[in-house]
Structure 1
Amino acid sequence: MSTDWLDQVKWNADGLVPAIAQDYQTGQVLMVAWMNREALQLTAREQRAIYWSRSRRKLWRKGEESGHVQKLHELRLDCDADVILMKVEQLGEIACHTGRRSCFYSVYRDGEWLPVDPVLKDPKSIYDK
């Protein structure tokens, strides 16, 4: 497989690009993470979301610990070629490490951030295996 398509991405100074995971049916934004060249190439090849963990400094296959895999349905590049959009099927219904459907569960109201989406599963039961 040719890698010319990877050369069209405008990687930042750290060799990364932000990647948005969006539910392919509802359009809900599930999470935002980072990808390096290898992560993006593997995402396309394996048809599942694979990110670059900046804190762990390694590839992170979404769901490798939790089982909450993001199955890829479509990969898009924005007009400036510096943001990836992935339309995914969120297996297990949980994208966030807090046990919620989406990482965007807080709403700004009256000068504060309020969590408005429920915890679907206790994170301890997901990650403390």
Structure 2
Amino acid sequence: MKKRILPILFIFLMLFSSTAYAASTRAAAVVPRISFDGTTASCTVFIAADRPTDDIDAVIKLWQGSQCLKTWEKSSVGDLAFSGTATVSRGKTYQLTVDVTLAGKAQPRLSVEGTCK
């Protein structure tokens, strides 16, 4: 439970800090994170668009080697906070990838990896 509180707290801090300057332009941010609790992978992604009116489309995938284990497709406007889980195996390394389109423009793929211990 403690491991889930930190990502959620981080997401709320990002949301509230960005709304304080809603009239100004923000730099786009994409923050993927993967953590493990036993054989459950917790995948979180926070995306903040350049402007609060920008459309966000995200394809989030969990990989083990070249095999895609799970895919999530999410859309939002301005900010997107995603959290999902998947069952994994101990001792294996997993990669979480995020393909984002902001205001109709594809962004470079971001990824993070971790090993289930």
TM-score by length of 1: 0.28
| RCO comparison, higher one (Cα < 8 Å, 6+) | 2
- Structure that is richer in strand per residue: 2
TM-score by length of 2: 0.30
